[in-house]
Amino acid sequence: MNSFRIIGNKKAQFNIDANMFSKSVIMKVLYWLNNDFVVQTTSHESQLLVELESNNDTDWNIMKKTISTMLNDFQMREVIEKETHDIRNILYVKAFSNIDNFTEYDTEE
């Protein structure tokens, strides 16, 4: 995240470098922000411009740190998910694979 600009009490803008963070990581961060803020995004080549607007007064210095932590955390979660995706599937398949009395029911609405 760079160029964090505070516009009055209620608005802030910043850029995210899409080469550094995947779309999924960025979307997850914005997902958690969109309860407290109206979130608007615009793309300029590899830069994503994010604008946050709130009805309430916001401590933007705290917010800047929070967003930066969220970006890093979701990026780490993405690494963990990618690396453990297959083994997690295997573990769940093994956990439930020995249910031998499973019946397929023919159901209708």
Residues near other proteins, by CB under 8 A: 28, 31-36, 69, 72-74, 76-77, 79-84, 87-88, 90-92, 94-96, 105-109
Least separation, in Å, of the C-beta of 87 and other proteins?
A: 5
> H-helix or E-strand containing 57?
none
Least separation, in Å, of the C-beta of 16 and other proteins?
A: 18
Least separation, in Å, of the C-beta of 24 and other proteins?
A: 10
Decide whether 47 or 70 has the Cβ nearer to other proteins: 70
Neighbours of 96 (CB within 10 A): 9
Burial zone of 55 (CB within 10 Å; 0-12 exposed, 13-18 middle, 19+ buried): exposed
CA–CA gap between residue 58 and residue 98 (Å, rounded): 53
